[in-house]
Amino acid sequence: MRADAVQRREAIIGHARHVFAARGGDVALEAVAAASGVGIATLYRNFPSRDDLIRAVIEDMVREILAIVAEARAAAAKDPAEAWKGLLARLMEMELGALTDGLVLQAGAGTDAAGASPLVQIQQPALDALEELLTILKRTNAVRASITAPGVIVAVATITRPQAPAIRDAAPGVPGELAEAYLLWSSAG
């Protein structure tokens, strides 16, 4: 694939993440195309179906989580508590809560012979990497022994879930406060 085509495809995925976060996974693909600055035909040339685009968005999120976990793993060698804090901060920035509602229902339809949905299959490498990091953090007592990778992702998605504008305006700092409470609760100390 040509460099400009790769850049265009990546731009579509990035814009789709933001559009899905803001408007849900069932938003018209014309809105994604418009946000990406491409025509609907270009979007469909890159992603023949909504499921293809959603899969690409989820794969992009998994790559980002893998990178964040790798950075935290490197930081854990120096300061495990700060690595844990940095990991949560970076995950909070990913719009997981906003994306979860729109994408889980779309990508989770159907299962394979083992009973795993396509979403579970796609996200498994990120969960495995996060679980390995948590094992390291547990050995250093930076997090409680009961913390699990799926639990971390669900907690971050719950904390970052979009609120109605009136609620968000009345208490804009609540997601940060919840993240801090989760950070303290999940710490072993």
Tell which phi-psi region holds residue 45, choosing left (phi > 0), alpha (psi between -120 and 50) or beta. alpha
Q: Rounded to whole angstroms, how far apart are CA atoms 186 and 155?
A: 11
Look at residue 183 in the predicted model and tell me its pLDDT: 80
Report the candidate in 102, 94, 119 with the shortest Cα–Cα distance to residue 28: 102
Q: Rounded to whole angstroms, how far apart are CA atoms 185 and 189?
A: 9
Look at residue 49 in the predicted model and tell me its pLDDT: 93
Tell which phi-psi region holds residue 38, choosing left (phi > 0), alpha (psi between -120 and 50) or beta. beta
Look at residue 108 in the predicted model and tell me its pLDDT: 47
- The DSSP code for 47 is -
AA identity, residue 79? D
Task: Extract the tokens encoding 44.
Answer: 């469909």
Look at residue 106 in the predicted model and tell me its pLDDT: 46
Instruction: Yes or no: say if 188 and 142 are a contact pair by the CB < 8 Å rule.
Output: yes
Look at residue 117 in the predicted model and tell me its pLDDT: 59
Look at residue 118 in the predicted model and tell me its pLDDT: 61
Q: How many CA atoms, within 13 angstroms, populate the side-chain half-sphere of residue 123? A: 23
Question: 44, exposed or middle or buried, with CB in 10 Å at 0-12, 13-18, 19+?
Answer: middle
AA identity, residue 110? G
Task: Extract the tokens encoding 143.
Answer: 């997090």
Q: Rounded to whole angstroms, how far apart are CA atoms 43 and 46?
A: 5
Q: What is the mean pLDDT of each successive set of 10 residues along the chain, which is 189 residues long?
A: 90 92 85 96 95 90 94 96 94 81 51 55 89 96 92 87 82 85 79
Q: Rounded to whole angstroms, how far apart are CA atoms 136 and 188?
A: 13
Look at residue 187 in the predicted model and tell me its pLDDT: 82
Length of the chain in residues, anyone?
Answer: 189
Look at residue 63 in the predicted model and tell me its pLDDT: 93
Task: Extract the tokens encoding 102.
Answer: 């729109």
